[in-house]
A and B are shown apart, each in its own frame.
Chain A
Amino acid sequence: MIYFWAFVVGGLICALMQFVALRFPRLTPGHLLVGLTVTGAVVNGFGLYDRLVEFAGAGALLPVSGFGASITRGVIEETRRLGWEGLLTGTLELVGLGIAAGVLFATVAALVTAPRS
């Protein structure tokens, strides 16, 4: 069942962003992705996005809104644990993995490939 929702929720988030892109052609993909990330971050202020992840799995986690939501989750968890410094240390708790993996793999890819058309 979660497969269905992963597909549908992930698809709907992308479809919505595509619609917004067409409706507001002045907005670049960069603008749109920032908007989606921030939305995910804000929505997770009280754990609402975490619930979407429970429900739709990868369909909520993989989109960049999940990235923003994970930042908020990290901040909230670390603030509860440490206090105010958690506001800063918590940001990359959960997404640090994604950033580190991206850096590592992108570096490897750049070293290994020759650019083509």
Chain B
Amino acid sequence: MDRDQTAIEGARDYARLVQQFAPKPNVARLVGRAFLVGGSICLAGQFVFDFFRQRQPTEVEAIALTLATMISVGVLLTALGVYDDLGELGGMGAAVPITGFANTMAAAAIDFRREGLVLGMASKMFIIAGPVIVYGIVAGILTGLAASLLRLVSGGG
């Protein structure tokens, strides 16, 4: 009797076997739900913006208030234990909008608070959202640099 691990037939095509027996996700349904959940959140944000636009002198202020509101909504729904259910339902529809960004921070803060306010909550608050900020900044700087250089080269202002 051999001790060869591949003695059980199929080691080589195991990946294919796993695929074969894997559940096939209903792409249409999942994409549709992402569309509806994401679209609804953005629509809600648009209503919020119009609410503030009527009351604020400048559009910039209205935008600022809208973002702050949507972030607080994301945090609130996380604190109520509801946003994770929204994520289960809408997938990317819940993750992509800024409410999702707020959720990552609130979820981490709430969970890791258990290890204390400094070493737990504060040090892990950006554990999920960090990459978005890091690569957003890197991409923004590089893009801005490229755009500025191109403008310089083409003589424009």
Contacts and interface: CB of A to CB of B under 8 A. Distances in A.
Contacts of A87: 141, 144-145, 148
B144 A72 contact: yes
Interface residues of A, number: 73
Given A14-B96, A102-B101, A112-B79, A42 B143 contact: yes
B138 to A, nearest CB: 8
Contacts of B40: 7, 11
A38 B125 contact: no
Contacts, number: 250
Interface in A75-109: 75-76, 79-80, 86-88, 90-92, 95, 97-99, 101-103, 105-109
Size class of the B contact interface (CB-based, 8 Å): 35 or more
B57 interface: no
A36 B108 CA distance: 22
Contact of A62 (B70, B114, B136): B70
A83 B86 CA distance: 44
Interface of A: 2-3, 6-15, 17-19, 21-22, 29-30, 32-34, 36-38, 41-42, 44-46, 57-59, 61-68, 71-72, 74-76, 79-80, 86-88, 90-92, 95, 97-99, 101-103, 105-113, 115-117
27 contacts: A7-B43, A10-B41, A11-B38, A14-B90, A14-B93, A15-B34, A33-B100, A37-B132, A41-B136, A41-B143, A42-B143, A46-B147, A58-B46, A59-B39, A61-B45, A63-B98, A64-B101, A65-B96, A66-B98, A87-B141, A91-B137, A92-B137, A102-B75, A106-B102, A107-B109, A110-B106, A115-B113
